[in-house]
Chain A
Amino acid sequence: MHVWCVRWGDVRVSMAFRIGVDSGGTFTDVCLLDEDNGRVSVWKLPSTPTDPSIAIAGGTRQILERRQSTEPAEVSFFGHGTTVSTNALIQGRGARTGLVTNEGFRDLLELARQRRPHLYDLQTDKPEPLVPRDRRHEVAARMHYDGRVERAPDAGEIKAVARALKDQGVEAVAICLLYGFLDPSHEIAIAEGIAEVLGPEVFVSCAHRVCPEFREYERLSTTVVNGFLGPIMRGYLDNLTPRLREAGVAVAPHITQSNGGTISFETASAQPVRTILSGPSTGVVGALETARIVGERDLITFDMGGTSTDVALIEGGEPGLTTEAEVHGYPIKVPMIDIQTVGAGGGSIAHIDSGGFLKVGPRSAGAEPGPVCYGLGNEEPTVTDANVVMGVLDPNRLLGGRMEIDHDRALAAMERLGGKIGLGALETAAGIVRVVTANMARAIRLISVQRGHDPRDYCLIPFGGGGPAHAGRLARELGMGRILVPRNPGILCALGLLLTDLSQDFSVTRRTGLNADGIGAARAAIVQLRAEAEAWFALEDVAPERRAIGVTADMRYAGQNHELNVSVPEITDDAGFLDQLAANFAELHDRRYGYVAPEEPVELITFRLKASGLVDKPGFESAEEEGPDASPALVSRRPVYSSEDASFTETPIYDRDLLRPGNQVTGPAVITQFDSTTLVLAGQTATVDRYFNLALREGDVR
């Protein structure tokens, strides 16, 4: 197994470590933090897609062995980000799943919201239902909107359904009934009947546990996805757990969930749907913590990988969450960091469409054959090729010199493409970068402007392999004045794992008016959620002084159906509580939609509680600022094409690892490191901060 050391943090003498492992499709990144001196070591090794636990455990073991110490190592924390559930969903490789629902509603799973997937394209298909129609069973039971029972399920019928499911050989069963979030007794009766007949090996996914919220289709979809992934995640973690123990990890390992917090392997086994954005959300947390240390709390993260780019907004140190996400066409209604994904990354292919416009993506050359410059057979130019042609990326080699590339091949491909619309190779390359920048800007507007936030108030945090090369132009496009490039942009996800708090979200739908009569219901809902949180804290073994709780409510004007998530103050006196809640709602409504309607009654719909088990945040390595002179890090010069001037400029190239805190680099300049390249545009200045991040600003900061 080949392991690249990205950075060696001198961990020879220490005894206590924290480990973060981010397992992606191509690479597995392992991050080791020495608790004594705050130094971070980072490794990258190829993933083992057939059984990811081999690379994860193998990498962990090798790294612990490299300490060159005879003392046994103590791993105090192990955090893991994974794409297992996302991949299983996207590739349709989940478990054989059955469904039990109300009589008359088994088709809801494929009827969805009745909309077709593309307005004009007659050939587009709906996503394949995860449970085929013959494995969708109905029971004659019905509850009403006020919790009144018209008909309870019959024990004999439940048994018959359970036997049918057994005959069908299902590995997982999803159970979702109308209004099950108000009163779960019918779902529980069905779950018990199924466990009786099918035994404990069958994975049971109950809507009232997975997603106790109104809107039956989205709840059903979430419950089914959870069932579909259940046996997969359980098998994966059952595989990984003993391997980690053998590798020397004695502490209970944790996994990141889509809300940016971590959960135990046990919780992840029961609710795998919560790990669907495990990978990308870890990067957001890494960015958040990197920025927090230097005092930036309002951020837009920009994670540009090979085939796609993820952006997210963080306000006041809290990532924006959504409960309306759709993954691969399947709605998933659990809290997730509000991440917008654009189908464009470094490997995205550029082409000319039938109207003569230059387009980039969503087709990607992937890691293999990869961009034209890799010389592995792809001849259609990609975003990476554009950067190679323009000289932003080293025209000879990538990955710290480990990979040779073919500049001339990329240039020829660019000429061929440009020839179709009468542009030269360089204009075409610059055009590709502009089009990609516009696509990214549109995604950022979705999470900022459309949510009532002005991007100019935020700091852009670029990471992933491609983020730092594009951040300067993107920030200009959006008028953003501040950019912070983390010390290791390529492995920020793994780093984020070392910094993530445990957390779990709880919710319950209790529709009630925002008035004196509603206080009782609100109080009861919050008490219930607190009790659930306490039980979870006990399960996760969180010490009392490390427990934190935040309560919010989804609110709307009575009559609206789309709620705004409003923070809920402590209930001290009833009147003050109501006033504060009303004010919080009005403020948010005004910001989002531009008006308030003070005479209209307001409703509370879903109460949400986020429980966090706070972990110690390690101190990052820092150093005193030295002078602005960056010349010791100046390693070479090469011509870099500026689309602004339409010409090449001889541009200084700096080695990121040689830059010291306080050093300043004035653009145009290129700063290279193992896994990423930062482009400083003419007119911008990069300053190295005490934590070795690069702070980019417009203008000369001296």
Chain B
Amino acid sequence: MSTPDPITVEVIGSAIASIAEEMGETLIRASYSTNIKERRDCSTVLFDAAGRTLYQAEHIPIHLGSLMGVVEEVVKRHPVETIQEGDLFIGNDAYTGGGTHLPDIVFASPIFHQSALVGWATNLAHHADFVDRGHKHIFQEGLRIPPIRLHRAGELQRDVLDLILLNCQVPRERLADFRAQIAANHFGVRRFQALCDRYGVPLLNQVFDELLDYAERRMRAGIAAIPDGVYDFEDIFEGDEQPEPLTFKVRIEVTGETIHLDFAGNPPQVPAGLNIVNTALLATVYYAVKTIADPDAPPNAGLFRPISVSAPEASIVNASPPAAVNGRTNTCQRVVDLVLGALAKAVPERVIAACNGAVVAATFSGVNPRTGAYYVYLETLGGGFGARATKDGLDGVQAHITNTSNLPIEGLEPEYPLVVDRYELVRDSGGPGTWRGGMALRRQIRAVDHDCWVSVRGTRLKTGPWGLFGGHEGGRYSVEADPPLVGGRGDLAAGRTVSITTPGSGGYGDPATRDPDLVRRDLAEDRISPEVARGVHGV
């Protein structure tokens, strides 16, 4: 058969993208838990029969790490010849389930066409469950589920479901969210099969090769535009879970159309939920390189090919069992900062200063006095997005490897016994520079008519997000509560508040050269104080 023409490839590529996107919409709209339905903490991916990523719907970059490994892990455990039409696999384990932390529960459905396995429809949703746990090792962090069948040939395995639900703190939400996840996969399977009917599997497989090659070509072109060389960067990591500062580092080697990232010399894995497993490191690196090389390259496995990564075993960036992984995204954010910091010397016009460098996660749980039922409210808070070579950073957004929404206050308060007292930008949190770093967020929450348990996790308590080329660092992370939380955890009495300030982001260029009109505008809008205007910018 001749190679499919580029137009056919383009047409089928659009169809694959729309299937993954529609799966995502189905999942979000039908789900129950606030973390999925409003905060959109979920992703959908289609794979070909060989487990190669065909398309990730654009939700959360780090989720690629959880989904990338899943087909491989399913097949490792279940010989392909035993997989039947109508099987549905569920899994979450970071070491054997294809996941990157336990709350991300993955559903994988094999797609059959004329009795042959032709692809996989998968999705992942972050379930706000497994809370109030220890993080010395992964066994403390929740139920570990290897990829096992929840449906066998279309038949629900009630025993499996019962076992999982019994280990969940909010089982009603879990069940309803599972239904939405199943509906999303069913949708993907049907649409994929319709595509097979229309074009035939041999042509589709050729097209998939072409789509991957295409993404690869685009990435190679983007990498080739980065000057060859070796680029190093170091940063300090500390936070609630890791009071002792650690040094993170990367060495990047760009050679022609390829790029190698070496994480040698990073700290050994820690007895805290900050370790990242290999697939999470890969997903993070793929994200970071894509932002520089080609933001619009299609998100499929072809873009991985020109990128190689090495990292020491059992280190914080390449964890081995039984390292705990729950708060891995804090580490991932810093890996992205490292990569951009290193490449600043090569492509200063394309990189940005350090972002918030954390995924500040606040969890409230307790018994809701209005219903008598146990509840879990999880929210991850955005912050500053680093300044750029020709413009300011973005104020108060989710940066880099996550992009979850906030929970509307009018969705939160009717559901949980909590009141949001403030949700605002923080003055002087954007690092000064020729271009100002994006500002941090403050969110203040009050417990109503009950005592609850609170956990707030983040980094950059003592070290601000760095600036570039003379830009200053951005604001630091802090949590105020009465009494203060210890290591980010504690009880919150009825009527008391916790106030969370996320990190800002770094500035770009010497602040003395900032356009005085911009300084005056920031001052008029109360984004900076008169002290910073005068003292730092001289205006």
Contacts and interface: CB of A to CB of B under 8 A. Distances in A.
Given A113-B405, A511-B414, A557-B176, A357 B214 contact: yes
A115 B525 contact: no
Interface stretch (A100-108, A253-261, A301-309, A315-323): A100-108
Interface string A104-134: 1111101101111011111101100000111
A431 interface: yes
Interface residues of A, number: 63
A559 B295 contact: no
B296 A121 contact: yes
B410 A216 contact: yes
B28 interface: yes
Contacts of A435: 7, 10-11
Contact of A111 (B33, B187, B406): B406
A572 interface: no
Given A215-B410, A450-B25, A595-B183, A133 B422 contact: no
Nearest to A214: B410
Contacts of B183: 593-595
A133 B526 contact: yes
Q: Across chains A and B, which 3 residue pairs bring their CB atoms closest together, nearest first?
A: A104-B422, A559-B32, A120-B295
B73 interface: no
Contacts of B405: 113-115
Interface residues on B, range: 35 or more
Contacts of B515: none
A538 interface: no
Interface stretch (A370-378, A408-416, A439-447): A439-447
B190 to A, nearest CB: 9
Given A111-B396, A353-B218, A438-B14, A593 B7 contact: no
Interface string B24-48: 0110111111100110100000000
A441 B180 CA distance: 26
Contacts of B406: 111, 113-114
Nearest to A179: B410
Interface of A: 103-108, 110-111, 113-116, 118-123, 125-126, 132-134, 144-146, 178-179, 214-217, 353-359, 421, 431, 434-435, 438-439, 441-442, 445-446, 449-450, 511, 557, 559-562, 592-595, 597, 600
A145 B527 CA distance: 31
B32 A557 contact: yes
B37 A126 contact: no
B294 interface: yes
16 contacts: A107-B423, A111-B406, A114-B382, A114-B404, A121-B296, A122-B291, A122-B388, A126-B397, A144-B413, A145-B410, A357-B6, A357-B214, A421-B6, A449-B22, A559-B32, A562-B28
A107 B26 CA distance: 31
Nearest to A218: B408
Contact of B32 (A108, A144, A421, A560): A560
B403 A355 contact: no
Nearest to A354: B221
Contacts of A123: 388, 391
Contacts of B526: 133-134
B173 interface: yes
A294 B397 CA distance: 51
Contacts of A104: 421-424, 444
B18 A445 contact: yes
Contacts of A146: 414
B425 interface: yes
Contacts of B537: none
Contacts of A126: 394, 397
Contacts of A445: 18, 22
A120 B350 CA distance: 12
B344 to A, nearest CB: 12
Interface in B273-294: 287, 290-291, 294
Given A119-B58, A434-B11, A595-B182, 4 more contacts: A111-B423, A114-B382, A125-B394, A357-B9
Contacts of B10: 357-359, 434-435, 438
B269 interface: no
Given A107-B396, A431-B7, A445-B18, A122 B350 contact: yes
